[in-house]
Amino acid sequence: MIKRMSHACCYVLDQERAKRFYTEKLGFEVRADVALGGESEGGGQGFRWLTVGPPDQPDVEIILADCRMGHDPETAEQIRALVAKGAMGTGVMATDDCQKTYEELSARGVVFTQEPAQRPYGIEAVFRDDSGNWFSLTQRSAAG
């Protein structure tokens, strides 16, 4: 039986730049940063296993994946185009105070596409990472 989700994949355009964004701007910790293999038996290239996560949630890792990881060149380019276009909504980041977190992240240079607003489930703002992925920043209401 499945016990919990441990990793989630977020395709990024540049892993080193994404690492700086997630650690310096969002305050996440690097959980793993390992170069894996060179040429594989199937002719594929090695890749960088880079994961980050929120300090208060040590059992969760977001994989900052190169778009080529596990994909043929044509598919990788399609993924890159979707990420850069901002078509990839990656997830929800929870906060206890959406307005305060919005102000803190904005001061660090995080770009928001929607300012905090009341929703049926709480207060939500929407931001983009440095690759174009968007995230909901949500303060859930007591009923939400």
Condensed to tens digits (0 to 9), the pLDDT of residues 94-106 reads: 999 999 999 999 9
pLDDT of residue 77: 97
Greater pLDDT, 41 or 73 = 73
Three-class DSSP category at 36: strand
CA atoms within 13 A on the CB side of 1: 1
Average pLDDT in the 112-134 region? 97
What would the two tokens of residue 4 be? 């919990």
Residue 45 pLDDT = 63
Q: Taking a C-beta distance cutoff of 8 angstroms, is the pair 10, 63 a contact?
A: yes
Residue range 21-60, pLDDT digits in tens: 999 999 999 999 999 876 544 445 678 999 999 999 999 9
Provide CB contacts within 8 A for 81, sequence distance 6+: none
Strand ranges (E), the chain = 7-12, 29-36, 47-53, 61-66, 89-94, 111-119, 122-128, 134-140
Q: Which of 73-77, 114-118, 140-144 has the lowest mean pLDDT?
A: 140-144
Question: Does the pLDDT of residue 142 top 70, yes or no?
Answer: yes
**What is the value of pTM for the model shown?**
0.89
* Residue 139 pLDDT exceeds 70: yes
Please give the average per-residue pLDDT across 62-89, as a whole number: 94
Is residue 92 a contact partner of residue 138, using CB atoms and an 8 Å limit?
yes
